[in-house]
Amino acid sequence: MPDKKSTAEIVIGDGAAAKARTYIETGLHAVRPLVLCDVNTERYAVDCFGGFERFLWPDRQHATPEAAALAVEKIEEMKADLLIACGSGSLHDLTRYAAEKAAIPYLSFPTAPSVDGFASSMAAMTVNGQKLTLPAHAPVALFAEPAVFRDAPVRLTLSGIGDILGKYVCLFDWKTASLLTGERFDPVIEKMERDAVDTLMHTDFNAPGFPVKLMECLVLSGVAIQQFGNTRPASGAEHHLSHFWEMHCLNAPTDALHGEQVGTATIQLLRRYREVTSLRLTKKPLTREYLLPVFGELTDRIIRENTPFLPDAISQEKLDSVWDEIRRLALSELPDASVIEEYLASKGGKTSLAALGLPDDDAFSAATLQYAPYVRNRLTLLKLL
């Protein structure tokens, strides 16, 4: 039985689909594999895994336990011994959640370079309206076929770019938290994420090899999550903004993609982080009165998520003792917001709240920065501002 916590085989390149089939049959000895796909990716499931059983989700199925349960029914009915995730981000979250529930391994077959979670061991799920990151299986193997993912709509590719650009903010948040609280920091894992974003920025978007490079960066980031054991190396305040918008606390649902939100959030946070020259800590509220108007029926769960409340553990003396280093990191490791904004805009990417379909006014923007840190009990600089 393969180890479900780490990915033993990663192939990104021409012929990966054929190699996947061989690996399934002769490497994993799967007898009853089940391909999980949606209406957009079914044709790849047919082309690359013809003859295998298939389970189909509708277009843009959200990753919820209810949707995963439908696949689990099918898994149990046919006694599947391997799942194949044939799709992009949410489909991978659904597959890894279903694999965990059914206690069987899964193989990743990404059809678009749209998110960094393919090799991740964490499932981003929406549970009763709350966005949660739950421990799940990592894929036992990952095969990415350029003939498949090169065809992906450019919007999905731009989403993958946005997800990688978010590493600037999350790596800074991670180092800041480590300085303030001694939280575990791993320089080798940090370098994997840094390499992913540096490689992206140094690769010509119009070069024929770009989609493969982007896929390599996304997979590398997911492997970093897997090796670290949680999403800390790849997810900071920029992801909290994205999750907050997806919880629809102050906005109507939009059709913005995960990486489109992360890219725009990154621009906002780079601007905010680089302008903070000094910081006096204030007591952050974690009370029903404060949170209820925004989080509504999620309020009690948000309070539970944030207990113990991380900002309470930080003193002004501690902050003062490391502030020069935090400021040095902000100026040396965070690019100017305009650099990222122009980079995304020049490729047709989304860079504003309005483009995401969100309210484009100062009040919404300020409320986002104020309340988004509460979606997750993870220390970021934003949580202290």
**Half-sphere exposure of residue 154: CA atoms within 13 angstroms, side-chain side:** 7
CB of 316 to Zn ion, least distance (A): 33
CB of 239 to Zn ion, least distance (A): 6
For residue 106, the SS3 value is strand
CB of 147 to Zn ion, least distance (A): 25
**Distance from the first to the final alpha carbon of the chain:** 48
By C-beta, is 107 or 241 nearer to Zn ion?
Answer: 241
Interacting stretch for Zn ion, rule CB under 5 A, among 40-48, 101-109, 161-169, 344-352?
Answer: 161-169
Give the amino acid at 165.
Answer: L
Estimate to the nearest angstrom the gap between the alpha carbon of 7 and the chain centroid. 18
By C-beta, is 75 or 247 nearer to Zn ion?
Answer: 247
CB of 259 to Zn ion, least distance (A): 7
Contacts with 72 (C-beta within 8 Å, 6 or more apart), sequence order: 98, 101, 102
CB of 7 to Zn ion, least distance (A): 18
Instruction: Tell me if 100 contacts Zn ion by CB under 5 A.
Output: no
Residue nearest to Zn ion (CB): 163
Q: Applying CB under 5 A, which of residues 163, 190, 193, 238 lies at the interface with Zn ion?
A: 163
Residue in this structure with the two tokens 């501002």, named with its chain if needed? 385
Interacting stretch for Zn ion, rule CB under 5 A, among 17-25, 159-167, 301-309, 318-326?
Answer: 159-167
Interacting stretch for Zn ion, rule CB under 5 A, among 60-68, 162-170, 318-326, 367-375?
Answer: 162-170
The Cα angle at residue 235 between residues 214 and 137, in degrees rounded to 5: 80
The Cα angle at residue 30 between residues 27 and 34, in degrees rounded to 5: 130
By C-beta, is 42 or 198 nearer to Zn ion?
Answer: 198
Q: Taking CB under 5 A as the criterion, which residues in 280-319 touch Zn ion? A: none
Contacts with 17 (C-beta within 8 Å, 6 or more apart), sequence order: 47, 48, 109, 143, 145, 147, 148
CB of 188 to Zn ion, least distance (A): 21
Give the amino acid at 191.
Answer: K
CB of 233 to Zn ion, least distance (A): 11
By C-beta, is 105 or 236 nearer to Zn ion?
Answer: 236
Q: Taking CB under 5 A as the criterion, which residues in 215-234 touch Zn ion? A: none
Separation of alpha carbons 23 and 40, rounded Å? 25
Interacting stretch for Zn ion, rule CB under 5 A, among 14-22, 28-36, 156-164, 320-328?
Answer: 156-164
Separation of alpha carbons 343 and 350, rounded Å? 10
By C-beta, is 163 or 341 nearer to Zn ion?
Answer: 163
CB of 177 to Zn ion, least distance (A): 18
Q: Which long-range contacts (CB under 8 A, 24 or more apart) does 201-206 make?
A: 201/343, 205/347
Contacts with 267 (C-beta within 8 Å, 6 or more apart), sequence order: 337, 340, 341, 344, 351
Interacting stretch for Zn ion, rule CB under 5 A, among 78-86, 158-166, 205-213, 318-326?
Answer: 158-166
By C-beta, is 211 or 233 nearer to Zn ion?
Answer: 233
* CA nearest to 131, candidates 242, 256, 291: 242
Chain residues that interact with Zn ion, rule: CB under 5 A: 163
